[in-house]
Structure 1
Amino acid sequence: MIRYTLACEAGHGFESWFPSSDSYDDQVARGFVTCPVCGSARVGKGMMAPAIARSGRGAEAPAVATPPQPAEVVPQLATTEPEQRLRALMQALRAEATKGADDVGPRFPEEARRMHYGEAETRAIYGQASLDEARALLDEGIAVAPLPPAPDERH
């Protein structure tokens, strides 16, 4: 089962469960998914976070929302007002953190180590690192933190 956060064209937010993403797509296409507040059948998916199962308790696979296709989302309902505020805050945080910093891309772990061990000039950098690479950096005493994702109008 997948739980989707949905919103209608009037911006009313609600949640609904579906057996699969295909079932959601089929029900929306047939007009079966309607807003419980105003009855509108023009609904789209809102921003979702995956459900992360706890380890050691018969963990189930996490339910992950698939990104909406452009034709699926009504332009004026891209997000609810709280989601728009959250996106703006995340964009501002990312802009401030990357302002004046060098994007070193996938060389991030290597460059962070070089700076930490005095092999390169210390400066603000950002880039990509896997979870294992980030953990290894932290284990070495190298301070790293994740950045909010880059803005993307479809997500």
Structure 2
Amino acid sequence: MALKVFDLECDQGHLFEGWFSSHDDYDTQQARGLLTCPLCASATITKRLSAPHLNVKHLRAPAPTSTPASSAVAPTGATSTATAAHANPAAMARLQAAVLQEIRNVIRNTENVGPRFAEEARRIHEGDADERPIRGTATPEERAALNEDGIEVMAVPDFLDDDRLQ
């Protein structure tokens, strides 16, 4: 399956990638309120302009051999995450592969409780059900309520939460 990768940003300024099966899939998930920031859980997400990585090094002028006295240097940390990722695509590919491997490990080692996720997570937290790793589906409101009650959860895109990825 070919995936569309979009650069996304939440209202808190966190940049992250979203992987979708199509533009319509992004639009549908956005309309249903299913998109949230992986760092702060904000549901106010916008798609940023992005372009495919193009190999155009041969079109660039050679770098100057001496640095003029008036050149400026950006302060440490001023480079955005997106710029850093494009600067080292091999490192980004390794990071994405590692993340996908961890998601596969989660899928392999958790019980899928489906739409009962919020209910079952609360039962486990309160000691009314056996302690075990679970996964399933929950609305943004259910995830927020769980977090408010001290029950930490992590959203995983639907296409990654598939037992076939094991």
TM-score range, shorter chain: 0.3 to 0.5
TM-score (norm 2): 0.43
Which structure has the highest helix share of the two?
2
**Greater RCO, 1 or 2 (C-alpha within 8 Å, sep 6+):** 1
